[in-house]
Amino acid sequence: MGAIIETNDLRAYYITNAYGVERTVKAVDGITLRIQEGEVYGIAGESGCGKSTLLRILLGAYQPPLTVVGGDVKYHLEGEVLDAAEMTEEQQRDLKWRTISYIPQGSMHVLNPVRRIRDTFHDFISAHRDVSKAESFQLTADYLRDLGLPEKVMASYPHQLSGGMRQRVTIALATILWPKLIFADEPTTALDVVVQRGVIQMLKDVQQKEGSTLVLITHDIGVHANLADRIGILYAGKLVEESDTKTILESPRHPYTRYLIESLPSLDSREERMAIPGRPPALDRPPSGCRFHERCPLAKEICKTVEPQLIQIEPGHFTACHVVEEELSHVAV
Amino acid sequence: MSQSEPLLQIENLTKVFHIRQGFASQDFHAVDNASIIIDSDKPEIFAVVGESGSGKTTLAKMVLGMETSSQGILRYKNRVINDISRKEMKTWFYREVQPVFQDPFAAFSPLKRIDSYLYETAQNYKMVADKKEAPRYINEVLSEVGLTLAEIAGRYPNELSGGQAQRVAIARALITKPSLIVADEPVSMLDASLRMSIVNMFRKLKEDNNVSVIYITHDLATAYYTGDRIAVMLRGWIVEMGPTERVLGNPLHPYTQNLKSSIPSIKSDESWDEKIDLAVIETDEYTRTGCKFAGRCPAVMDICHDNIPPSVRHEGRTVKCFLYDESVDPAKKTALAPAAG
């Protein structure tokens, strides 16, 4: 299986110019990703570290001030390689929802409040395929039944559904045309645990049924643990660690990842847990060297000046940290 | 009841909303027969957890005097909250009881400097004798939440991070030296890492400043981490209530078990086997005649569909479920293994 989407040293900045003052926010700064066909790839990190910006670029849905200043995004679809930046509007329209789909956060604002769910589905399907109302109703009913949603929702209005049901209807809507590549932005945030579990189950079902690729963006490591095959940790616009889920959770190497995982409260113990000191840096003037050095307990002199490169420390496990690099070189000697 | 007068006394508290649809009118019990007592001599963090729409926020609003109760007893330091005059609400009640809300950016006006809220609160409640005293006092309060006045002076809310803004919101609540803080989902807008810093702060406030906190959340993990006692709410009912370690350590009510087993585990070898049912339409569960969980309960009995279960004492907590009611024939009860984990 090959990659379905890849980025090469992708740099995307918000460039604004107000009253002659130029400001550049480096939200995505040199990210290289290869997402394999059929996998669930999780992107994690605190708010303000560039998760959503990265998603926008991957989707090809961005406008100024967000500008891609370097690198590219390539889709590998149906044997063709498509450059996201060079697609015509027609190509984009053709791909979107049918091949590449997106599950937005906050389902409350996605569904049309004055139309019944089945009509929303019909509007959506008929925009992409030549179907009659009866056909699209049938398609919707079959699909909802497959996913274990009760038939009752077809005739409901969005406000009659509970938050979790609405989120699941949104997922069904985004995936009814069997896209190959699905992006989900914080699909379970703001849902309570029982509902969250239902939504996670459904995402798994959808992904496994057709072997689609799912790119999952959330700050909730617990959700990643239950869904993702591989996880990439973003910090201040950079990828700082990437590996399979088990490795990230059980033996994270980057100090930031370790903080992220150790700060999670759990029902196993009530011992005091430390929060990560400080806060993510402002990206218009990112710190020199390693962007984490100001908050890092292991920071050395070199971290303040030299930017660490993403290196492979074991097969499939990448991290960008001088301290880890140094430890490894000692082992090698 | 304890010997001393309770700080907060809630007994059989009910809030009914009337919903009119055309000519039909329906009663909607947002909070139904809730009873909670918080003692004044021993500060505690009392966690209230439940799904969205379980009545947590309505309960908080009633405690804060922002919503009147329909039935039952609601007293703060032996005063009926609904009967406190508007003047006394301002001069006494809000000095004692302070809220912290979910979204700090919604709580502060974007057009006002954030420190002005601290100055205003200090002056309105006469916490400082004269204006010159204010900065010193405010700085003292801010240090409780790990900030200094210099850090936030003159800044607007948008210049602060979510965690900082929430700390200022908590500092604002602390200015009046309250005895009770009602925090409604104070961390759900924040990242996991910032959550811990806020939650650690509540623990510290309880220990150092003798402040009791009603901590409302849907996040069981932080509730377990901070809460001394916990109440689990479902569709307006308190279905299980007791010491946090008992209730979440070994949940008895099928709903609490369901909640606990639904927390995504970060241990990769623990995943869910069985599927769960979700409520389809919210109001369906509110208007059920029997137990509101009957539609989703794995241990449901015939009796549950038509009768309201009693709240019974069992293993050091109260639980509202027929499974623990001794008058129900044990043969009919489905064995329900405690949730794993």
Residues A80, A195: one domain?
A: yes
Buried b (16+ CB within 10 A) or exposed e, B119-142: bebbeebebbeeeeebbebbeebb
* The pLDDT of residue B340: 40
Tokens of A31: 């990210």
Residue A306 lies in a domain: no
* The pLDDT of residue B25: 78
Q: Which of A128, A151, A178 is the last residue of a domain?
A: A178
CA–CA min distance B16, chain A (Å): 20
Buried b (16+ CB within 10 A) or exposed e, A110-137: bbeeeebbbbbbbebbeeeeeeeeeebb
* The pLDDT of residue B263: 83
pLDDT tens profile A233-271: 999 889 999 999 999 998 999 999 998 888 787 777 777
pLDDT tens profile B299-316: 888 888 889 999 999 988
Query: Which residues in chain A are contacts of B191 at CB distance < 8 A?
Result: 46-47, 219
* The pLDDT of residue B106: 86
CA–CA min distance A82, chain B (Å): 35
Residues A66, A189: one domain?
A: yes
Question: Could you give the 3-state DSSP secondary structure of residue A232?
Answer: strand
Q: Which residues, listed in sequence order, are joined to residue B242 by a DSSP beta bridge?
A: B230
Tokens of A139: 């398609």
| Torsion angle, alpha carbons of A13, A19, A20, A22, to 10 | -20
* Residues ≥6 apart with Cβ < 8 Å to B21: none
Lowest mean pLDDT among A89-98, A140-149, B129-138: A89-98
Q: What average pLDDT does the structure give for chain A?
A: 86
Residue B214 pLDDT more than 90?
yes
pLDDT tens profile A207-239: 988 889 999 998 888 889 989 999 999 998 899
pLDDT tens profile B142-174: 988 888 888 888 889 888 877 788 889 999 999
Residue pair A307/A289 in contact (Cβ under 8 Å)? The answer is: yes
* The pLDDT of residue B93: 93
Residues A152, A205: one domain?
A: no
**Chain B interface includes A159 (CB < 8 A):** no
For residue A283, which of A228, A236, A232 has the smallest C-alpha distance?
A236
What is the complex's ipTM, to 2 decimals?
0.73
Residues A79, A185: one domain?
A: yes
| Residues in A 206-225 with any Cβ partner in B closer than 8 A | 219-223, 225
Q: What is each CA distance from B287 to A105, A245, B235, B237, in whole angstroms?
A: 30, 43, 9, 12
Residue A297 lies in a domain: no
* The pLDDT of residue B143: 86
pLDDT tens profile B42-69: 899 999 998 877 888 899 999 999 989 8
Residues A95, A237: one domain?
A: yes
C-alpha–C-alpha distance, residues A217 and A187, integer Å? 8
Residues A78, A115: one domain?
A: no
* The pLDDT of residue B253: 94
Q: Which of A129, A157, A178 is the last residue of a domain?
A: A178
Best mutation site among A46, A217, A267, A295 for testing chain B: the one with the most B CBs within 10 Å?
A267
Q: How do the domains of chain B map onto residue ranges?
A: 6-247, 250-264+276-336
Residue pair B149/B141 in contact (Cβ under 8 Å)? The answer is: no
Going by the DSSP 8-state scheme, the letter that residue B5 receives in this structure is P
CA–CA min distance B90, chain A (Å): 33
For residue B192, which of B222, B215, B171 has the smallest C-alpha distance?
B222
- What's the rounded mean pLDDT across residues A264-289? 79
Lowest mean pLDDT among A132-141, A315-324, B273-282, B285-294: B273-282
Best mutation site among B280, B285, B293 for testing chain A: the one with the most A CBs within 10 Å?
B280
Q: Do A194 and B278 touch (CB under 8 A)?
A: yes
Query: Which residues in chain A are contacts of B220 at CB distance < 8 A?
Result: 193, 267
Q: Do A192 and B218 touch (CB under 8 A)?
A: yes
Residues A142, A274: one domain?
A: no
Buried b (16+ CB within 10 A) or exposed e, B278-307: bbbebeebbebebbbbbbbbebbbebbeeb
Query: Nearest residue of A to residue B192 by CA position?
Result: A264
* The pLDDT of residue A229: 93
* The pLDDT of residue A22: 82
Task: Give me the residue from A196, A201, A259 closest to B193, CB to CB.
Answer: A259
C-alpha–C-alpha distance, residues A141 and A99, integer Å? 21
**The one-letter amino acid at A321:** C
Query: Nearest residue of B to residue A225 by CA position?
Result: B266
Residues A78, A225: one domain?
A: yes
* E strands in chain B: 6-21, 24-39, 45-50, 71-76, 79-80, 97-100, 180-184, 212-217, 229-234, 237-243, 311-314, 317-320
Counting the structural domains of chain A, the total is: 2
Best mutation site among A168, A194, A274 for testing chain B: the one with the most B CBs within 10 Å?
A194
Task: Give me the residue from A191, A201, A267 closest to B221, CB to CB.
Answer: A267
Buried b (16+ CB within 10 A) or exposed e, A185-211: bbbbbbbbbbbbbbbbbbbbebbeeee
Residue pair B297/B291 in contact (Cβ under 8 Å)? The answer is: yes
CA B241-B245-B247 angle, to 5 degrees, is: 35
Query: Greatest CA span in chain B, whole angstroms?
Result: 73
Chains A–B, number of C-beta pairs less than 8 Å apart: 144
C-alpha–C-alpha distance, residues A232 and A241, integer Å? 6
Going by the DSSP 8-state scheme, the letter that residue B335 receives in this structure is P
Residues A209, A115: one domain?
A: no
Residues A235, A121: one domain?
A: no
Domain range spanning residue A8?
3-99+179-288
**The one-letter amino acid at B201:** M
Residues A153, A209: one domain?
A: no
Residue pair A77/A180 in contact (Cβ under 8 Å)? The answer is: yes
pLDDT tens profile B252-272: 999 999 888 888 877 655 566
Residue A304 lies in a domain: no
Lowest mean pLDDT among A158-162, A273-277, B128-132, B194-198: A273-277
Q: Do A226 and B272 touch (CB under 8 A)?
A: yes
Total residue length of chain B: 341
Q: What is each CA distance from A153 to A116, A159, A281, B45, in whole angstroms?
A: 9, 11, 44, 40
Q: Which of A148, A178, A208 is the last residue of a domain?
A: A178
C-alpha–C-alpha distance, residues B193 and A233, integer Å? 14
Residue A325 lies in a domain: no
Residue B189 pLDDT more than 80?
no
- The CATH architecture of the domain made up of B6-247 is 3-Layer(aba) Sandwich (3.40)
For residue B106, which of B157, B153, B57, B175 has the smallest C-alpha distance?
B157
Query: Nearest residue of B to residue A150 by CA position?
Result: B280
Q: Is the dihedral of CA B91, B93, B96, B100 positive or negative?
A: negative
Residue pair A294/A281 in contact (Cβ under 8 Å)? The answer is: yes
CA–CA min distance B21, chain A (Å): 13
| Residues in B 70-89 with any Cβ partner in A closer than 8 A | none
Residue B231 pLDDT more than 90?
yes
Residues A188, A270: one domain?
A: yes
